[in-house]
Structure 1
Amino acid sequence: MASLPAIKPLDGADGFLRWKETVLLHLHAAGVGHVLSEDPPPPPPGGASSSSPSAEAATRTWARDDAVCRGHILAALSDRLLPDYVRYGTGRAVWEAVARTYHLDEAALFYHRFLDFRFDDGAPLLEQLAHLHAMAVHMEDLSASGTANMARGKLPADAQIPEGAIPEGGKASMT
């Protein structure tokens, strides 16, 4: 089995996306990531005394998976953040609490990153265009032609697109 990347402890908003994806990879590799999206097994009808051995095993397995998941998430937090999240009793509750804090409004975030984007003469142009396009995909409020015109204005001088090459109101795409 391939080794998993190390998890750099989350210590604030910077790096949240990489942290989140790395933690998810670890949780799924450990076989416990399902507790973040699935509900626990229902309690047996009539109480614990009437439950079947398979239902009891499913409940114990779920409780174990949830505890392991919670432990992995808490272990991936910095010492500064751990006290803020240790009070949550389940893996899903910890995960959702961290997400509420650090998962920002993506559309607004990408819009501001798109506006602030500047081409770097030292980086490959096609890679930068792909990055600009990835941000533009999240900006649902802008039309494709509006986004393309904004991107055109950011291009370096040696890669300028002539005025009028992007149709007004059309379905121009950056692909």
Structure 2
Amino acid sequence: MSSVKELTTNFVKLKKFDGVEFRRWKKKMYFLLTLLKVSYVISTPRPVEHENETMEDVREKSKWDNDDFICRGHILNGMEDDLFDVYQHVESAKELWESLESKYMAEDASSKKFLVSNFNDFKFVDGRSIMDQFHEVQRIYSNLKQHGINVDELFVVSSIIDKLPSSWKDVKHDLKHKKEDISLSNLAIQSSD
């Protein structure tokens, strides 16, 4: 239990959701909620009340209510204050989670075009570390994958070679004329040599 306590203490240090990078925040939040063993309330309806409830039925509802309170509280605590103010009145963790998904996943869809444009427009420039620029293009590629935009790695490698600065003309020529396919990680190694 101490590791969960440490995690929740350290979780406060993570960046709070501010309306940007929802998918990343959602994964981190879901991981925390799973560790706390309360994530099930997001997808499981509250146990139904019925006439002849047993003590076990009452305990099950009470546990669900408590876990929903904890889950909802952690989701709200993971937001910047202005978003907290907007969502604090949502009554259940499930409703809160679904509300965030419907708003921010839809916004992510429009950002897909932005991500593709970022990748297409990226050019390596002289005067900056090639490896820093390569890591930047890798991050863009990773964001494409994270948003479900599947781009063949060979296509990405070829595009990166085309994006190398003009001072790398000989390297570009050598890389383009290799007979074997080059992976993204091998391209990084060959570009840094």
Residues 65-92 of structure 1, C-alpha deviations (whole Å, 9 max, x = no match): 1111111112222222223212321112
Please state whether the residue corresponding to 1:153 is helix, strand or coil.
helix
Q: CA deviation at 1:113?
A: 3.1
Q: Could you tell me the TM-score, scaled by structure 1's length?
A: 0.70
Aligned residues of 1:136 and 1:147 also touching (Cα < 8 A) = no
Does 2:58 align with 1:28? Answer: no
Task: Say if 2:149 is the partner of 1:139.
Answer: yes
Supply the distance in 1 between the matched residues of 2:97 and 2:104 (Cα, whole angstroms): 11
Residue 81 of structure 2 aligns to a residue whose secondary structure is: coil
- Aligned partner of 2:16 in structure 1 is 9
Q: Distance in 2 between matches of 1:62 and 1:24?
A: 17
Structure 2, unaligned stretches of length 5 or more? 186-193
Gaps of 5+ in 1: none
8 Å contact from structure 1 (residues 9, 77) kept in 2: yes
Distance in 2 between residues matched to 1:127 and 1:153, nearest whole Å: 16
Q: How does 1:105-124 map to 2 (within 5 A)?
A: 105=109, 107-119=112-124, 120-121=128-129, 123-124=131-132
Q: Pick one of 163, 167, 180 that aligns with 1:154.
A: 163
Cα gap change, 1:131/1:113 in structure 2, threshold over 3 Å: closer, same or farther? same
How far off is 1:132 after superposition? Answer: 5.2
Percent of aligned pairs sharing the same letter: 21
Q: 2:189 is matched with which residue?
A: none
Aligned to 1:76: 78
Q: Give the CA deviation at 1:32.
A: 1.4
The structure-2 alpha-carbon separation of the partners of 1:82 and 1:41, relative to structure 1 and needing over 3 Å to count, comes to: closer
Write the letter of the residue equivalent to 2:89: R
SS at 2:48's partner residue? coil
Instruction: Report the Cα offset of residue 93 of structure 1.
Output: 1.4
Please provide the CA RMSD for this pair: 3.4
* 145-154 vs 93-102, which moves further: 145-154
Match of 2:191 in 1: none
Query: What is the CA–CA distance in structure 1 between the aligned matches of 2:28 and 2:46, rounded to whole Å?
Result: 27
Shift of 1:18: 4.5
Q: 1:136 to 1:154 in 2, by over 3 A?
A: farther
Kept after mapping to 2: 8 A contact 1:7/1:19:
no
Supply the distance in 2 between the matched residues of 1:83 and 1:95 (Cα, whole angstroms): 15
Write the deviation string for residues 11-45 of structure 1: whole angstroms up to 9, x where unpaired: 332x5344333433332332212222x3135425x
